[in-house]
Amino acid sequence: MTQQKGYTTFEASNFESKTLSDCSVLIVDDEQSTQLVLGSILGEIIQVHCLSDSMQAV
């Protein structure tokens, strides 16, 4: 991983052994409908966690 001008790039070799089932996503949105839609779509392929308050994510 390298830091360049305010954003981070990841080397492909870091992820070669990962599959989508190894990944998880955190959805932070105060609208439950947004959490439901994104969670339903993404939940079929990866592990999904939802929060309504960004302070809970910290």
> Would the pLDDT of 15 be above 70?
no
Count the domains in the chain. Answer: 1
Would 47 be classed as within a structural domain?
yes
Q: What is the pLDDT of residue 58?
A: 79
Would 11 be classed as within a structural domain?
no
Would 43 be classed as within a structural domain?
yes
Q: Which structural domain, as residue segments, surrounds residue 27?
A: 18-57
Would 25 be classed as within a structural domain?
yes
Q: What is the pLDDT of residue 43?
A: 92
> Would the pLDDT of 5 be above 70?
no
Q: In the numeric block, which tokens belong to residue 31?
A: 């609208």
Mean pLDDT of 29-56: 93
Would 7 be classed as within a structural domain?
no
pTM of the model: 0.64
SS3 sequence, the chain?
CEEECCEEECCHHHCCCCCHHHCEEEEECCCHHHHHHHHHHHCCCCEEEEECCHHHHC
